[in-house]
Amino acid sequence: MNHCSLGCASLPHFVVHASSDKCCSNIILLQPTNPDKLTIDALENVKSAEEAHSIKLIEKQKMKRLTFQWTVAAGRFVDDEEVLEKLVPPSSVQKLSITGYNSLSLPDWFVGIRQYLPNLCVIKLRNFPKCKNLPPLGQLPNLQELCLRGMPCLEEWNMAYTSGEKFANELMFPKLQRLDIRKCAKLRIKLCLCRAMILFIVDCDNVLSSWGEILSHNSASSSSPITNLNVSDSKLFHHLPAPHSLAIRFRNDLTTLPENRQQFSSLQSLSLRLGRSNEAELPRWLFELTSLQELEISHPKLEKLNEDTRQLTGLQSLSLSHCESMASLPEWLGELTSLKRFQIKYCKGIRSLPDSIRKLTNLEYLAIDGCSTLRKWCESQENKMKLAHIRWKVWA
């Protein structure tokens, strides 16, 4: 190979490209390096599997963070699986990210991931358009965060062990704190024993429905201590254990909620993002959530805060963002006496705060962002006295 025309390795973000004579790629420049973190980008430009093997990635034991990236829809010189097979990560890696992988199956080291990468804490797999199977990620004893995005061919993820496996009695994902699954439309989960505290399930309706089938036959799973849940469709709520924090991205109807509302009786934090809703008011079920302490509302068509909102007397934090149709705030706002934080972002129709803002004696933080008229109102000399009791005031 003609090494002299390749230049020097740029770290930690290394972009693969062909040498000037087109006979090889510059990935061989990584051979003498041993960084603590490394991104290998544009892997589609690797000219041979031997090149990938030559960098001896497995020997770089200082490495803690490793990212492999292929450019989406770009042509390849070598099949992605052949390249990744030769890029066996060092056992020291704690965070692994792979993006744009275009092969049907995964290399042997990934299938045996517990043996090769026992220290993994974070795995992020994005844009795997052809992959149909996942390795036994539940065997990883230290995994805390798992992200799966854009895996359109992945239909079933069997998280169970076979009866003959030595890990059969171990809890799946014993340390998992965050599970993020998005745009995996066909994916169904065959078994879930994880204890994820934060769940992001977006554009993956089959994941939720299959999970619901599991929970209906496994009462132990229904007690999972989920504290934060982000889903895209309210009709799927009944499939999930009761969360303490919930973020909802409604597609259309915001009025629907499962008949069994007791599962939300302990809900403390709620984020409503209602971009496509035709409703001009908040849903009635919201005002039944008397345990709410934090409420975030993003709703361009919301014209006013429903008067029933005053029933949420335990609210300590209220955030209004992108409520473009809202022209004013009600005087009864002063009845939310537990309020400590109040944020108004990009609600340009709100031009002033009600006089009852003075009654919010526990209010410690007020933030105004992207509301120029309201900001001027707050900064005027005659209105500063109304806000004098608030310790932190932020204008942007």
What token pair was written down for 396?
């942007």
Q: What pLDDT score does 182 carry?
A: 87
Average pLDDT, rounded, for the chain: 83
- The confidence score (pLDDT) of residue 53 equals 96
Query: What's the rounded Cα separation, in Å, for the pair 271 and 318?
Result: 10
Which of 84-110 are b and which e, b meaning 16 or more Cβ less than 10 Å from the residue's Cβ?
bbbbbbbeebbbbbbbbbbbeebbebb
Could you tell me the sign of the dihedral formed by the alpha carbons of 371, 375, 378, 382, in that order?
negative
Q: What is the pLDDT of residue 226?
A: 62
Higher confidence at residue 218 or residue 62?
A: 62
- What is the arithmetic mean of pLDDT over 13-29? 88
What pLDDT shows up at residue 223?
47
For residue 25, the 8-state DSSP code is B
Domains and CATH numbers, the chain: 278-285+294-396 (3.80.10.10)
> Span 62-85, mean pLDDT?
95
The kind and range of the H/E element at 15 are strand 13-15
Is the pLDDT reported for residue 365 higher than 90? yes
pLDDT of residue 101: 96
From CA 339, how far away is CA 359, in angstroms rounded? 10
Does residue 249 or residue 41 have the better pLDDT? 41
* Residue bearing tokens 């909620």: 257
**pLDDT band with cut points at 50, 70 and 90 for residue 195:** low
Q: What is the mean pLDDT of residues 299-317?
A: 92
The residue-averaged pLDDT of 84-107 equals: 96
My answer on whether omega of the bond before 300 falls inside 30° of 0, hence cis, is: no
Predicted local distance difference test score (pLDDT) of residue 240? 58
More confident residue, 141 or 64: 64
Residues 151, 131: contact at Cβ < 8 Å? yes
For residues 40 and 17, the answer to whether their CB atoms sit within 8 Å is no
- Checking if the pLDDT of 364 tops 50, the result is yes
Selection from 30-44, 123-137, 147-161, 263-277 with the highest mean pLDDT: 30-44
Peptide bond into 12 cis (omega under 30): yes
Q: What is the pLDDT of residue 159?
A: 59
Average pLDDT over residues 39-63: 96
> Does the structure show a pLDDT above 80 at 383?
yes
Which two three-digit tokens encode residue 50?
């031997």
> Bigger pLDDT: 291 or 351?
351
Q: Which of 121, 252, 215, 133 is nearest to 174 (CA)?
A: 121
- Give the mean model confidence (pLDDT) for residues 268-287: 78
Give the DSSP per-residue string, 256-307: ---S-GGGGTT--EEEEE-TT---SS--GGGGG-TT--EEEEE-TT--S--G
Could you give the dihedral angle defined by the CA atoms of residues 277, 282, 287 and 288, in that order, rounded to the nearest 10 degrees? -20
Q: Who wins on pLDDT, 4 or 118? A: 118
Give the residue, 381 or 8, on which the prediction is more confident: 381
pLDDT of residue 252 exceeding 80, the answer is no
* CA 294 – CA 228 distance, rounded (Å): 12
For range 248-262, the mean pLDDT: 55
Residue 38: pLDDT above 80? yes
Q: Is the pLDDT of residue 70 over 50?
A: yes
Residues 6+ apart with CB under 8 A from 270: 245, 246, 247, 248, 286, 289, 292, 294, 295, 296
321-334 residue pLDDT tens: 999 999 999 999 99
Phi/psi class of residue 35: alpha, beta or left (left: φ > 0; alpha: ψ in -120 to 50)?
A: beta
Instruction: Write the secondary structure of 308-368 as one string of H (helix), E (strand) and C (coil).
Output: HHHHCCCCCEEEEECCCCCCCCCHHHHHCCCCCEEEEECCCCCCCCCHHHHHCCCCCEEEE
Between residues 266 and 57, which one has the greater pLDDT? 57
Of 318, 322, 362, 326, nearest in space to 343 by CA: 318
Q: Among 100-104, 264-268, 320-324, 353-357, which is the least confidently predicted range? A: 264-268
> Helices marked H in the chain — which ranges?
49-54, 80-86, 108-111, 113-116, 205-217, 372-379, 381-384
